[in-house]
Amino acid sequence: MPPKPTVVLFFKGTGLGGAELNGLKILEFLRQEGWSTRLITGSKGELFERFAAVTDDQAVISFPYPRKPATWLLVPRFYLKVKAFLNRRSGRQVLLCGDFYELWAALLFRSPMRPVLSLWQGEYSFNDDSCVKKWLRYGAGRADKLLASAPVAEHANKTGLLPNPVHVLNPCIDETRFNPALYNRKELRERFGWAEGDHIAVCVGRIGEGKGQLWLAKTFVGEPRFPKTAKLVIVGPGSENDLASLRALEAQSEGRLRVAGPRDDIPEILAAADLAIQPGTLAESFGLAALEACITGVPLLAFRVGALLFTLGNEYPGLVPEGDRFHFTEKWIKCSKKNIPEWGNKLRSRLLSCYGKDVWKTQLFAALGIL
């Protein structure tokens, strides 16, 4: 068997986001399997130390972007720095781009000994071919292998615009943590200070434009029809301005709204909750936070947008027509007045058979060309 190549992850940043966490999971797993891993990133974010812990070495180099002509002057310096970094290692190196933004930069160093893999993450338009065309503009036609979640791969391949097929690599759902059988719900609710009669809705994800948390909080605080036992917990990182706006609403809520910020105990929070809410209207390429809630057995309320139509199906009762905030709010109020366990308890086995960790491992090894 040929020696394992070194995997070099190109990533524009190491902030606390879903794409970055997925890239971190890839490196963590490869490191556990005895692979050599390296990192080239444009900045040191909240996750940089965790990336550093699972890579042999790291280079922090500002990425020039084709969309910003002012940064083109950085290309020669960028090229020389990355070339020197890559040349420190002999042997085959797989250049894995964490998103399409980094693809054109990795292609500067493509060779038979340095194949380039491009992974699409983040938002994706399923209504047209605009994202596929964007991928092509960044160099998808020259990459050795294209990777994306199953919903994106299916849509992109149907467009017929790409010279090579997109292979499936879904984000990793860690069923060993998002497993309701691991937790005592009563003990968790006591730990979080939630009474047994409270109805806890939890919103998990990065806070920002298009994600819907500010609208969610305003609706919850301003709508008198929610019962006094209803509570809303918002978990995730965000800018200072976004968090300040949410905390101003928290101060008006008489203790019913909690802005928790980023947390490491999300599986426990979901296991103790009554409802998971995803109020975003962006067309996500996978919707990992929503699926993590579903495999934990929590009913999900979300807009019928993006990959959720593919992963959950159009008939899932918690999906509301895209942008229909009136019916979203009405369904939320109804949910807050009664338990709806039947939404969440039938999905776990089906989702894990398609998107579980064992499936993800097979997809990852296939992407790296060792199966």
Q: Report the CATH number that the domain containing residue 314 is assigned in CATH.
A: 3.40.50.2000
Residues 192 and 160 in one domain: no
Tell me the residue range of the domain where 225 lies. 180-353
Residues 70 and 157 in one domain: yes
Residues 230 and 122 in one domain: no
Residues 209 and 336 in one domain: yes
Task: Count the domains in the chain.
Answer: 2
In a domain, 186, yes or no: yes
Q: Is 329 helix (H, G, I), strand (E, B) or coil?
A: helix
Q: What percent of the chain has pLDDT over 70?
A: 95
Number of H helices, E strands in the chain: 15, 13
Alpha carbon 299 to its chain centroid, in Å, reads: 19
Structure tokens at 370: 């060792």
Q: What is the pLDDT of residue 370?
A: 59
Whether 306 contacts 314, CB under 8 Å:
no
User: Residue 23 pLDDT > 80, yes or no?
Assistant: yes
Q: Give the whole-angstrom CA distance, residue 123 versus residue 335.
A: 28
Whether 113 contacts 95, CB under 8 Å:
no
If you average pLDDT over residues 27-52, what whole number do you get? 95
Alpha carbon 88 to its chain centroid, in Å, reads: 32
Q: What is the pLDDT of residues 91-143, one digit of tens each?
A: 999 999 999 989 999 999 999 999 999 999 989 999 999 999 999 999 999 99
Residues 41 and 167 in one domain: yes
Q: What is the pLDDT of residue 371?
A: 41
If you average pLDDT over residues 347-360, what whole number do you get? 89
Q: Give the whole-angstrom CA distance, residue 239 versus residue 248.
A: 14
If you average pLDDT over residues 47-75, what whole number do you get? 85
Whether 300 contacts 270, CB under 8 Å:
no
Q: Give the whole-angstrom CA distance, residue 191 versus residue 9.
A: 39
Q: Give the whole-angstrom CA distance, residue 217 versus residue 234.
A: 9
pTM over 0.85: yes
Whether 249 contacts 223, CB under 8 Å:
no
Residues 53 and 199 in one domain: no
Q: What is the pLDDT of residue 344?
A: 57
For helices 18-32 and 357-367, the axis angle rounded to 10 degrees is: 80
CA neighbours within 13 Å on the CB side: how many for 117? 24
Q: What is the pLDDT of residues 277-302, one digit of tens each?
A: 999 999 999 999 999 999 998 999 99
Q: Give the whole-angstrom CA distance, residue 287 versus residue 267.
A: 16
Q: Give the residue from 340, 277, 284, 282 showing the smallest Cα distance to 311.
A: 284
Structure tokens at 116: 């380039």
Whether 220 contacts 253, CB under 8 Å:
yes
Q: What is the pLDDT of residues 160-190, one digit of tens each?
A: 999 999 999 999 988 889 998 999 999 999 9
If you average pLDDT over residues 22-46, what whole number do you get? 95
Residues 200 and 261 in one domain: yes
In a domain, 259, yes or no: yes
Give Cβ neighbours of residue 40 (< 8 Å, ≥ 6 apart): 8, 9, 10, 11, 58, 59, 61, 82, 85
Q: What is the pLDDT of residue 175?
A: 87
Length of the chain: 371
Residues 189 and 273 in one domain: yes
In a domain, 264, yes or no: yes
131 or 370, which is more confident: 131
Q: What is the pLDDT of residue 74?
A: 81
User: Residue 49 pLDDT > 90, yes or no?
Assistant: yes
Q: What is the pLDDT of residues 66-82, one digit of tens each?
A: 666 667 778 889 999 99
Q: Give the whole-angstrom CA distance, residue 229 versus residue 340.
A: 16
Q: What is the pLDDT of residue 339?
A: 65
Q: Is 222 helix (H, G, I), strand (E, B) or coil?
A: helix
Q: Give the whole-angstrom CA distance, residue 170 versus residue 81.
A: 31
Whether 337 contacts 318, CB under 8 Å:
no
Place of tokens 């340095």: 114
Q: What is the pLDDT of residue 110?
A: 97
Q: What is the pLDDT of residue 73?
A: 78
Q: What percent of the chain has pLDDT over 90?
A: 80
Q: What is the pLDDT of residues 310-353, one digit of tens each?
A: 999 888 889 999 999 999 999 999 999 876 655 655 688 889 88
Residues 188 and 140 in one domain: no
